[in-house]
Amino acid sequence: MDNELIKACEAKAQQWLSSSVYDAATQAEVRQMLEDADKTELIEGFYKNLEFGTGGLRGIMGVGTNRMNIYTVGAATQGLSNYLNKNFKDMELISVVVGHDCRNNSRLFAEVSANIFAANGIKVYLFDDMRPTPEMSFAIRHLGCQSGIILTASHNPKEYNGYKAYWDDGAQVLAPHDKGIIDEVNLVSAEDIKGLNTTLDVANPLIQLIGEEIDKIYLEKIKTISIDPEVIRRQKDMKIVYTPIHGTGMMLIPRSLKMWGFENVHTVPEQMIKDGNFPTVVSPNPENAEALTMAINLAKEIDADIVMASDPDADRVGMACKNSAGEWVLVNGNQTCMLFLYYIIKNRIATGKMNGNEFIVKTIVTTELIKAIADKNKVEMFDCYTGFKWIAREIRLNEGIKQYIGGGEESYGFLAQDFVRDKDAVSACSLLAEICAWAKDQGKTLFDVLMDIYLEYGFSLNHTINVVKPGKSGADEIKAMMENFRVNAPKEIAGSPVVLTKDYLTLKAVDDKGNVTDILQPETSNVLQWYTADGSKVSVRPSGTEPKIKFYLEIAGEMACPKCYTAVNNEAMAKVDAIKTSLGL
């Protein structure tokens, strides 16, 4: 082990013992870490401070500067309070929204944060119980607040919690505010945290509980995004199975589906129980097939038309439908995004709702078929970085000039409206049900619609590989992998020459002739992309929120008929294996 690193961690840990701010139980754990001959826990707890990534602050709950606890949450909130008081110093009263999900300690962290904001003279609108992340985003704009936070680790395993910070536009913070907040947080010592108390100060006039009154307004707004209410009326008895996987979606998604007119919604009873331990799943991630097992079993029992699931903070949506053989299959994140945008564009045209100034947004690692759909239908499309704060940025830049009609990413996030500025499973589940109703109205399934897209716009298989590298040693490995890919860039992938390389760290694109062009993005990002002669696209990036490096593979193809799908898909999967071999994965 690195002795210098151990010494640095010991010094940080000693600070936690020498201050009266830290409670006795915390200090006892720190002593145990220091006394333990194995310094792994000490290093993992103290080797760095938690930082805002693509999803804010996120980490394993426990003791240390690199862990989620009342002190790291408190420092983040004090730093954010300091930044708000500097940025909005001329305002009579700065206000924030505080929300949380179902996770262990989420309510505690939310109440601790509310106390700290109030102690800094900031008005707090605190949700009275767990609520979806998108509703918190909505509330910021609706209540005219300057910021907001939600305590959630999204779809991460139960050991994790997180802290997402939002700005006055309802979107997660971007530069310069993200860096500005971090700078303020880094100046905060435990002694600087005002109002650090684990009991909510309900008597404080600056803390106001909110709930049902916001729910009603938010759900009414979501209802306005329905494109074809008539098709819902005709298919109101369509069988829907929904699971919140123990999370916040249970608060609003069944209610929203009912408001839209769907009368045959079945929930998974075992997963309609609020529980931060997520006892019925290995991980509460709707991207994982295992998380939808109970919902699919219920769908088989009742012969449902669609299965939908939301993650613990109800920003991501997962889904399953029956294929042409009647078997239940998962719809991946790229297909989900593509289905939503295909339906929105096609049916806005069909119902005469297009004005010619509409635009959509996707992230750079999301399927290129979306661009094909946009181009053919003469709808402008913007590419942005991974993370919904970048989609929100495009909405903000075009506000009052162009009309946003939808945007999404491969990681199961979609947003169909601009009154929220983060991915939204509440509206996505409602719109998904409408898409299924529209398909059923034509005697089709969601799978049939997917086949229609492939026939019209070309086939594409998207496959994501996550290489998990936990801890300090893992972070070093990931850094070395990215450096190696830059120094030893592949000349061919799976036998096909690389014809274009994009490096978002330099914001330069180089083709196979050596021509260099600029990449237009607002800042640099540690992402590499390679495009091959046969139409494949490979993207690689370290995750901003989890200890892993992600590889996004897209293999293009042509599909002559719906029955050709299996063969074309199998051929593309064989190419996936070849690409993995080329990249040494």
Query: What's the CATH number where 75 sits?
Result: 3.40.120.10
Cβ atoms of 535 and 493 within 8 Å: the answer is no
Please tell me whether residues 274 and 375 are part of one structural domain: yes
Let me know if residue 557 belongs to a domain.
yes
Taking the alpha carbons of 25, 27, 29, 32 in that order, is the dihedral positive or negative?
Answer: negative
Please tell me whether residues 57 and 150 are part of one structural domain: yes
Cβ atoms of 460 and 554 within 8 Å: the answer is yes
Using CA atoms, how far residue 13 sits from 16, 90, 158, in Å, is 5, 39, 25
Please tell me whether residues 311 and 384 are part of one structural domain: yes
For residue 484 the two structure tokens come to 């190696």
Q: What number of residues does the chain have?
A: 585
Taking the alpha carbons of 34, 37, 43, 45 in that order, is the dihedral positive or negative?
Answer: negative
Question: E strands of 391-506, at which residues?
Answer: 403-409, 413-415, 459-468, 492-493, 496-503
Please tell me whether residues 410 and 539 are part of one structural domain: no
CA–CA dist 508, 18 (Å, integer): 49
Please tell me whether residues 433 and 483 are part of one structural domain: no
Let me know if residue 367 belongs to a domain.
yes
pLDDT value for 1: 59
pLDDT value for 50: 79
Using CA atoms, how far residue 218 sits from 138, 145, 212, 354, 585, in Å, is 7, 16, 10, 24, 45
Neighbours of 203 (CB within 10 A): 6
- Give burial (CB, 10 Å; 0-12/13-18/19+) of 308: buried
Please tell me whether residues 305 and 177 are part of one structural domain: no
Query: What's the CATH number where 569 sits?
Result: 3.30.310
Please tell me whether residues 20 and 92 are part of one structural domain: no
Let me know if residue 302 belongs to a domain.
yes
| Among candidate residues 383, 416, 442, the one where a domain is terminated | 442
* Nearest in space to 244 (alpha carbons), one of 210, 212, 281, 213: 281
Let me know if residue 346 belongs to a domain.
yes
Please tell me whether residues 240 and 328 are part of one structural domain: yes
| Among candidate residues 163, 182, 216, the one where a domain is terminated | 216
Let me know if residue 451 belongs to a domain.
no
Domain count, the chain: 4
* Nearest in space to 242 (alpha carbons), one of 260, 228, 255, 226: 255
Domain that holds residue 1: 1-45
Q: What is the largest CA-CA distance in the chain?
A: 71
- Give burial (CB, 10 Å; 0-12/13-18/19+) of 491: exposed
* Nearest in space to 339 (alpha carbons), one of 221, 441, 256, 457: 457
Phi, psi angles (nearest 5°) of residue 250: -60, -25
Please identify which residue in the block is written with the tokens 């669609």: 306
Question: What proportions of the chain, in percent to the nearest 5, are helix, strand and coil?
Answer: 40, 20, 35
Let me know if residue 450 belongs to a domain.
no
CA–CA dist 502, 506 (Å, integer): 9
Let me know if residue 454 belongs to a domain.
no
Known catalytic residues are: 154
Please identify which residue in the block is written with the tokens 């008929």: 561
Please tell me whether residues 30 and 89 are part of one structural domain: no
Please tell me whether residues 435 and 470 are part of one structural domain: no
SS3 of 19-81: the string is CCCCCHHHHHHHHHHHHCCCCHHHHHHHCCCCCCECCEEEEEECCCCCCECHHHHHHHHHHHH
Task: State the DSSP H helix or E strand holding residue 300, giving kind and residue range, or none if neither.
Answer: helix 293-302
CA–CA dist 534, 87 (Å, integer): 50
Let me know if residue 382 belongs to a domain.
yes
pLDDT per residue, tens digit, the chain (585 aa), is 588 999 999 999 999 999 999 999 999 999 999 999 999 999 999 998 877 655 568 899 999 999 999 999 999 999 999 999 999 999 999 999 999 999 999 999 999 999 999 999 999 999 999 999 999 999 999 999 999 999 999 989 999 999 999 999 999 999 899 888 888 988 999 999 999 999 999 999 999 999 999 999 999 999 999 999 999 999 999 999 999 999 999 999 999 999 999 999 999 999 999 999 999 999 999 999 999 999 999 999 999 999 999 999 999 999 999 999 999 999 999 999 999 999 999 999 999 999 999 999 999 999 999 999 999 999 999 999 988 999 999 999 999 999 999 999 999 999 999 999 999 999 999 999 999 999 999 999 999 999 999 999 999 999 999 999 888 888 889 999 999 999 999 999 999 999 999 999 999 999 999 999 999 999 999 999 999 999 999 999 998 667 899 999 999 999 999 999 999 999 999 999 999 999 988
Whole-prediction pTM: 0.94
Please identify which residue in the block is written with the tokens 């769908």: 299
pLDDT value for 310: 98
Hey, is 161 helix, strand or coil?
strand
pLDDT value for 185: 87
| Among candidate residues 189, 216, 243, the one where a domain is terminated | 216
* Nearest in space to 130 (alpha carbons), one of 312, 308, 280: 312
Peptide bond into 176 cis (omega under 30): yes
Across the beta sheet with 358-363, the strand order is: 380-384, 358-363, 403-409, 413-415
For residue 367 the two structure tokens come to 């399927």
Non-local CB neighbours of 349 within 8 Å, separated by 6+ positions:
377
Strand-pair partners of 538: 530, 553
pLDDT value for 53: 56
CA–CA dist 559, 454 (Å, integer): 7
- H-assigned helices in 469-555: 471-487
Please tell me whether residues 41 and 53 are part of one structural domain: no
Whole-angstrom distance between the N-terminal and C-terminal Cα of the chain? 27
Please tell me whether residues 156 and 197 are part of one structural domain: yes
- H-assigned helices in 330-380: 333-350, 369-376
pLDDT value for 547: 81
CA–CA dist 75, 548 (Å, integer): 26
